[in-house]
Amino acid sequence: MKRAFVFPGQGSQAVGMGKELAEAYPVAREVFDMVDEALGEKLSALIFDGPLETLTLTENAQPALMAVSVAAARALESVTGKQLAELGHFAAGHSLGEYSALAASRALELEDAARLLRLRGRAMQQAVPVGAGAMCAMLGVEIELAREIASEAAAGGAGDQVCDIANDNGGGQIVLSGDKEAVERAVAIATAKGVKRSIMLPVSAPFHCTLMAPAADVMGQALAEISLQKPSIPVIANVSAQAETDPANLRQLLVQQVTGMVRWRESMTYAADQGVTQLVELGAGKVLTGLAKRIDPRLEGAAIGAPAAIEAFAATLG
């Protein structure tokens, strides 16, 4: 069996996530301690005890989700006595989850990942004035129609407006991002074109669109100053939807990811084409494994973000 480890993105956060991991496994507790030290604050207290509205802030949610994912990865390694590269064939992360994948595969130092994600969250929030951007989700739509809707929405207003595909999540789920007026038009256009469901999302900024260019510049400068090693397991990148191992290429792809589309559907299809049959989601929630079958019938999903699930999964490995 070929296996890929996947790491969730923003939206999977919940107060108390990772707390059982920290209590059950010293290696997991160490991850949270190292993130706290890197950020100079007790992010772990916020993760474990809330409040949710503070945890959900982009600058907190991003490093928090990474910490939980890496803690789960280290716990799995501790229980099995094997590293991820010995347990699977690929890793992939949704948006910020790509940093989790790189930290879990030891391409990126944990402390660097925490600081980069704190910076990434702030830079993305500051790139567009509050209220000027928006995102919407469309359900039951194919990528070609989504492109048509986005293009029509961008062209339908006064002046140059942005409406880009931010996420192609698979299973007919596509997210658009850009100027608020353009995204609102996209919802109306999608409804008129018979899209099953189209709704505005409660987000604080229009992620993964060209409006995020200032944030990409910030991340480009920051990433140029950190050490990035070859990952122990190939990482399927959001931007290329291909397995990547070259540090220089991975660095550039992380910059492009800020404004680029998360090609999750294509990434998972690529994994299946390489013979992967099991996706194992490490961290908070089970969104990505829930999408697995809807993307490709060859894929089965398993979410292991708590001690009981990790122990049960490890037992299946013999």
Q: From the candidates 69, 208, 240, 267, give the one annotated as an active-site residue.
A: 208
Asked if 219 contacts 244 with a C-beta cutoff of 8 angstroms, the reply is no
Q: How many helices (H) and strands (E) does the chain have?
A: 15, 10
Asked if 41 contacts 279 with a C-beta cutoff of 8 angstroms, the reply is no
What DSSP line would sit under 104-169, residue for residue?
Answer: HTTSB-HHHHHHHHHHHHHHHHHSS-TTTEEEEEEES--HHHHHHHHHHHHHTSSS---EEEEEEE
**Which has the closest alpha carbon to 120: 1, 216, 243?**
216
Q: From the candidates 69, 95, 177, 198, give the one annotated as an active-site residue.
A: 95
Dist CA 68 CA 86 (whole Å)? 21
Asked if 11 contacts 137 with a C-beta cutoff of 8 angstroms, the reply is no
Dist CA 295 CA 172 (whole Å)? 9
Indicate the DSSP class of residue 17: T
Distance of CA 113 to the CA centre of its chain: 13
CB atoms within 10 A of CB 1: 10
- Which residues, listed in sequence order, are joined to residue 244 by a DSSP beta bridge? 235
Token representation of residue 232:
């122990």
- Amino acid letter, 164: D
- Amino acid letter, 178: G
Give catalytic status of residue 208 as yes or no: yes
- Amino acid letter, 74: R
Token representation of residue 276:
């992967």
Residue 142 three-state SS: coil
Backbone dihedral angles phi then psi of residue 251, each to the nearest 5 degrees: -60, -45
The residues assigned a catalytic role are 95, 208
